Amino acid sequence: MCEHEGGIAAVGTEGAGLGRDDVECAARRLAGRVWRTPVVRCDRLDALAGTRLWLKAENLQRGGSFKTRGALLAVERLAAAGSRGVVAQSTGNHAIAVALAARAHGLPAVLVLPDDAVATKVDLIREAGAEIAFAGTLLAERTAMVEKIQDLRGYDVVDPYQNRDVVMGQGTATAELIGQVRAEGGRLDAVVVPIGGGSAIAGACLAAAGEDMAVVGAEPEAVASFTAALRAGRPVTVPAGYTIADGLRPDRTGSLPFDLAHGTVASVVRVSEVAIEGALRAALLHARLLIEPAAATALAAALDHAAGFGADVGVVLTGGNVEADLVTSLLSRPDVPS
Amino acid sequence: MCEHEGGIAAVGTEGAGLGRDDVECAARRLAGRVWRTPVVRCDRLDALAGTRLWLKAENLQRGGSFKTRGALLAVERLAAAGSRGVVAQSTGNHAIAVALAARAHGLPAVLVLPDDAVATKVDLIREAGAEIAFAGTLLAERTAMVEKIQDLRGYDVVDPYQNRDVVMGQGTATAELIGQVRAEGGRLDAVVVPIGGGSAIAGACLAAAGEDMAVVGAEPEAVASFTAALRAGRPVTVPAGYTIADGLRPDRTGSLPFDLAHGTVASVVRVSEVAIEGALRAALLHARLLIEPAAATALAAALDHAAGFGADVGVVLTGGNVEADLVTSLLSRPDVPS
């Protein structure tokens, strides 16, 4: 096992020492435990984007999202260190991933979710046998609850953004994508990744190091926390407007991901709600993939802007845990473009 | 190019000389022209089936179905022989495939569809620039129309069942599946394939030759034409009951596919409409794949019976060209199991 200390340094130096080698090491640790998800091509989406899109279908990942990668590594390390249980806050997918990883290691787990967590995700966490606590709708409310449970029970925290194992694990999705495109004789000019708390984009920046490839972020207009952080030069809490992209609702970027990503990210696309809806529908009807709104945010950015990014553009479709009702509603509405 | 004469011999000897080598040759001819579609694994579907399922996602194929494989080979051969145009009958997917292949070779194409062809498929054919003629709802009505067009225009017929290129091309989907499972260190005990006119199951039988692997067919209870053919010892026309599996509505198995498959197929599962609906919904919500009812027929057979077939069972998800309205309706109905 390749080793890294889990401790977090002072803000601004948190990413120190982390590099592409760590992502490659994480990939070796994960081999055979997560699906090597396919890279899907779709002529009709290429036509809409005006360029070649390579869709990394992490919606087909175990637990329904790429978050399974980082959580497996983080929980494995804690279990090896004799942890008595784990606690984590999440909008949903990281919680599912931690619940599955805890079950695999025989550890109890408490997952702290927002009151407006989507039912599909809550069901998957319950199915994995974990305990759930609800705490408001804001990141700060969930974090406070996590600290309380940590104190009360002595459980270890698996933070979705501030954990090096998590960031490295998330980076393996982009690293796999790069390798899979290369195996097909291609080379990516850019990769588009959605931004919630920041672990996906930070992992992508690590994976893309030395690749001469632009890393592009996509976030909802309604919660443009990474754009705000770039402007401020540090993570800031933004007013949380409503977005259907429940996975991208965190109102503040993590400082570790910001530290790792801010100097590398080529641009950040802010995506409207109607574009997220249209991309979700287009993925379903054209690429025949069910993706959740967070993944659709990245696809929407690619459909509108990828032609400017180059001839070959990767898109990390981060997850597929979406409400049946939302799909029904989007398919029924003739005003949603696709 | 590996050669085979296209002529059809007397019934009972039509498959003479066709073997697994021909499928391997077809795969080489198709390399780089069709997607090498992924094999998808899904823990929740495995749990429902009680065994490991390996889902060959031909719903992600160019043109939305595995039919693209055979049509490309058949139209290529005709184009090379100086064809002035092609005509084909189909419930939809073969027509899409022939339209795309004809466009690639600069040939005009007329596609003969049933009056109840699904709108998604009709749209894809129009998008490919082909001409469409509608002819009743029965296979015999479409075949008569094809002969008329053949006489009037001198176009070459690309039959969806009675054409060796088509059957060999369709077989490459199963051959790829076998190879992909092997590359993951697995070995299939069985493969489940839907039966409409029979090209998929015939191709699967060719691909599975020498593999010590059961080939299982799945057809709707409402149009159990292969079961009837097995009983009669030859293809027979059956009363066409209503099935949502539009791709499996042909009321008679082709004689070439029957000739190739009848001695090899291990069993045929007749699937109820409610099971087809449930499998389509399960594929979407659990595996995050949009599949059409024909593919769901194979998945339904696997969910109900695969545990009896062995530890590793392949399912060819033949296509994904499905109406948005049908998806909406299945997702909205609490009575559809998934």
State residue A7's pLDDT score.
39
- What are the respective helix, strand and coil percentages of chain B, to the nearest 5? 50, 15, 35
Query: In this complex, is the C-beta atom of A290 within 8 Å of any C-beta atom belonging to chain B?
Result: yes
Pairing of strands A214-220, A190-194: parallel
A288–B285 CB contact, under 8 Å: no
Query: In this complex, is the C-beta atom of B124 within 8 Å of any C-beta atom belonging to chain A?
Result: no
Say yes or no: domain B20-63+164-331 is CATH 3.30.70.3000: no
Place of tokens 């994508």: A177
Listed in order, strand segments (DSSP E) in chain A are 39-40, 52-57, 86-89, 109-113, 131-134, 156-157, 190-194, 214-220, 267-271, 312-317
A41, A60, A331 ranked by CB distance to B288: nearest: A60
Query: In this complex, is the C-beta atom of B8 within 8 Å of any C-beta atom belonging to chain A?
Result: no
Put simply, the chain A residues between 64 and 123 with a CB less than 8 A from any chain B CB are 64
User: How far is it, in rounded angstroms, from Cα A56 to Cα A38?
Assistant: 6
What residues in A contact B37, CB-CB < 8 Å?
A: 38
B288–A43 CB contact, under 8 Å: no
B37, B290, B325 ranked by CB distance to A284: nearest: B290
What residues in B contact A38, CB-CB < 8 Å?
A: 37-38, 40, 57, 60
Task: Find the closest chain A residue to B330 by CA distance.
Answer: A328
Percent of chain B with pLDDT over 90: 92
Other CB atoms within 10 A of residue B209 CB: 16
B40–A60 CB contact, under 8 Å: yes
Query: In this complex, is the C-beta atom of A38 within 8 Å of any C-beta atom belonging to chain B?
Result: yes
Task: Find the closest chain A residue to B283 by CA distance.
Answer: A290
What is the count of residue pairs from A and B with beta carbons less than 8 Å apart?
Answer: 61
DSSP B225-291: HHHHHHHHTS---------S-GGG--SS--HHHHHHHTTT--EEEEE-HHHHHHHHHHHHHTS-B--
What CATH number should be reported for the domain whose range is A20-66+164-332?
Answer: 3.40.50.1100
- Phi/psi for B120 (5° steps) reads -55, -40
In one-letter notation, the amino acid at residue A21 is D
Query: Measured between alpha carbons, how far is residue A164 from residues A46, A73, A194, A209, B103 in Å?
Result: 35, 9, 19, 17, 51
Place of tokens 């139209």: B75
What CATH number should be reported for the domain whose range is B67-157?
Answer: 3.40.50.1100
Work out the average pLDDT over B123-135.
96
In the sheet where A267-271 sits, what is the strand order? Answer: A39-40, A52-57, A312-317, A190-194, A214-220, A267-271
A51 to chain B, minimum CA–CA distance in Å? 16
Task: Say if residues B266 and B190 touch (Cβ distance below 8 Å).
Answer: yes
Pairing of strands B312-317, B190-194: parallel
What residues in B contact A287, CB-CB < 8 Å?
A: 60
Does the fold of domain A67-157 match that of domain A20-66+164-332?
Answer: yes
Percent of chain B with pLDDT over 70: 95
Task: Find the closest chain B residue to A317 by CA distance.
Answer: B288
Query: In this complex, is the C-beta atom of B190 within 8 Å of any C-beta atom belonging to chain A?
Result: no
What residues in B contact A325, CB-CB < 8 Å?
A: 331
State residue A188's pLDDT score.
98
> Mean pLDDT across chain B, nearest whole number?
94
Domain segments of chain B: what residues? 20-63+164-331, 67-157
Task: Count how many Cα atoms sit within 13 Å of the Cα of residue B80 in the half-sphere of its side chain.
Answer: 9
A41, A64, A331 ranked by CB distance to B35: nearest: A41
- ipTM for this prediction: 0.92
Query: pLDDT tens digits, chain A, 338 residues: what are they?
Result: 454 443 343 445 678 789 999 999 999 999 999 999 999 999 999 999 999 999 999 999 999 999 999 999 999 999 999 999 999 999 999 999 999 999 999 999 999 999 999 999 999 999 999 999 999 999 999 999 999 999 999 999 999 999 999 999 999 999 999 999 999 999 999 999 999 999 999 999 999 999 999 999 999 999 999 999 999 999 999 998 999 999 999 999 999 999 999 999 999 999 999 999 999 999 999 999 999 999 999 999 999 999 999 999 999 999 999 999 999 999 987 666 65
Helix axes A67-80, A93-104, angle to 10 degrees: 40
User: How far is it, in rounded angstroms, from Cα A123 to Cα A126?
Assistant: 5
B230 to chain A, minimum CA–CA distance in Å? 34
